[in-house]
């Protein structure tokens, strides 16, 4: 009998977990041809999430949990799950039921046909603001044009991974993680499945605009050096323009005896070039910061308590 693991990273999901368990129990009970395990990773929640998970564990031994020592972030919490799931395949999903459990049997059928990464692509994005949807689509287009690895648009963490993919992802131990890009980087046979993303059943999302922006920066700096190349090209263009402008000023002064423009022109040029230099330093700083964190060689996470894994 093949074993299916379901990985659920949890952060302040006390209100969502009971409804999630009801949906998963129905799924597991109606598909006894598979052995099931549900690995919930508590990522340093501040509410009663871990207490609810322990109650579910006492009621159903298919529920396993990993309680991290603090909040390490969703990407690192998922790595903890990768390290401990024991299934022949693994389904990653959120705890808020935005990822519908009833889609899992369809994923399993595609997996049985020989595909190793069955990813769910959103048809709609649920109740998201217009600005967030537009920024998200713009971000994916930017990432597609600047990376050598194809980053799938409108595809998140909701997917089924074969044991081959799980073992490959376990070997990627960087601390500054962008797992959505890693899924594509490791390769393997992929298949798309479409779904309508639901709304949260309870609670509020912990991903505000600032955290999403940080995730976007991590995605760009993890899989492309295009920003560094852009700053180089921008520097060359500015140098060329400055040289041509210098020739222009020299010629107009010596031949036509035109007076050199004064304070406004000088301040405009200084401020513009200063802005370009600060932008370039900021881009370099982002990459240096990643090098700084990676060279420490610290563990990606620490576990406070675990059971069932």
Res 221 pLDDT > 60: yes
Give the residue, 156 or 301, on which the prediction is more confident.
301
Q: Please tell me what DSSP assigns to residue 307.
A: E
**Separation between Cα atoms, residue 146 and residue 152, nearest integer Å:** 13
Please compute the mean of the pLDDT values over residues 9-28 and round it to a whole number.
88
Q: Residue 198's pLDDT is what? A: 64
Q: Residue 248's pLDDT is what? A: 72
Please compute the mean of the pLDDT values over residues 118-139 and round it to a whole number.
69
Res 223 pLDDT > 60: yes
DSSP codes joined into one string, 165-180: HHHHHHT---SS--HH
Return mean pLDDT, the chain: 79
Lowest mean pLDDT among 25-39, 150-164, 253-267: 253-267
Find the helix or strand (DSSP H, E) in which 68 lies.
strand 63-68
Please compute the mean of the pLDDT values over residues 172-200 and round it to a whole number.
79
Q: Residue 308's pLDDT is what? A: 81
Task: Give the pLDDT band of residue 39 (cuts 50, 70, 90).
Answer: very high
Give the residue, 197 or 62, on which the prediction is more confident.
62
Work out the number of other CB atoms within 10 angstroms of the CB of residue 91.
26
Please give the model's pTM, rounded to 2 decimal places. Answer: 0.71
227-266: pLDDT as tens digits? 776 777 777 777 777 777 777 766 776 676 666 556 566 6
Task: Give the pLDDT band of residue 139 (cuts 50, 70, 90).
Answer: low
Q: Residue 75's pLDDT is what? A: 86
- Using a pLDDT cut of 90, give the percent of the chain over it: 9
Please compute the mean of the pLDDT values over residues 134-144 and round it to a whole number.
66
The backbone torsions φ and ψ at residue 117, rounded to the nearest 5 degrees and listed phi first, read: -140, 100
**Separation between Cα atoms, residue 263 and residue 249, nearest integer Å:** 15
Q: Which residue has the tokens 């919490």?
A: 77
Q: Are 96 and 13 in contact (CB under 8 A)?
A: yes
Which ranges constitute the DSSP H helices of the chain? 17-29, 49-59, 74-84, 104-112, 130-146, 163-170, 179-186, 209-223, 226-254, 263-295
Please compute the mean of the pLDDT values over residues 30-37 and round it to a whole number.
88
The backbone torsions φ and ψ at residue 157, rounded to the nearest 5 degrees and listed phi first, read: -90, -10
160-184: pLDDT as tens digits? 999 998 999 888 888 878 777 788 8
Q: For the chain, how many helices (H) and strands (E)?
A: 10, 8
**Separation between Cα atoms, residue 46 and residue 48, nearest integer Å:** 7
């Amino acid at each position: 009998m093949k074993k299916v693991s379901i990985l659920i990273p949890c952060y302040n999901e006390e209100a969502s977990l009971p409804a999630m368990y009801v949906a998963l129990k129905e799924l597991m009970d109606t598909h006894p041809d598979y052995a099931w395990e549900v690995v919930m990773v508590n990522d340093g929640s501040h509410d009663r999430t871990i207490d609810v998970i322990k109650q579910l564990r006492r009621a159903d031994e298919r529920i396993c949990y990993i309680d991290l020592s603090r909040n390490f972030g969703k990407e690192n919490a998922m790595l903890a799950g990768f390290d401990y799931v024991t299934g022949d395949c693994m389904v990653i999903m959120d705890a808020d039921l935005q990822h519908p459990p009833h889609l899992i049997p369809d994923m399993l059928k595609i997996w049985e046909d020989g595909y190793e990464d069955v990813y769910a692509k959103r048809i709609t994005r649920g109740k998201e603001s217009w600005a967030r949807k537009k920024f998200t689509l713009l971000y994916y287009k930017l990432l597609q044009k600047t990376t050598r690895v194809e980053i799938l648009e409108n595809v998140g963490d909701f997917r089924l991974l074969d044991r081959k993919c799980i073992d490959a992802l376990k070997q990627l131990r960087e601390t500054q993680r962008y797992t959505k890009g890693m899924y594509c980087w490791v390769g393997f046979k992929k298949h798309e499945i479409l779904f309508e993303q639901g709304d949260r059943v309870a609670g509020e999302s912990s991903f505000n605009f600032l955290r999403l922006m940080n995730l976007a920066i991590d995605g760009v700096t993890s899989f492309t050096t295009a920003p560094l190349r852009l700053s180089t090209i921008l520097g060359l263009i500015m140098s060329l323009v400055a040289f041509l402008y210098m020739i222009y000023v020299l010629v107009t002064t010596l031949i036509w005896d035109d007076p050199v423009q004064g304070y406004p022109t000088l301040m405009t040029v200084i401020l513009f070039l200063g802005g370009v230099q600060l932008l370039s330093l900021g881009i370099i700083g982002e990459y240096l910061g990643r090098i700084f964190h990676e060279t420490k060689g610290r563990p990606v996470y620490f576990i406070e308590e675990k059971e069932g894994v």
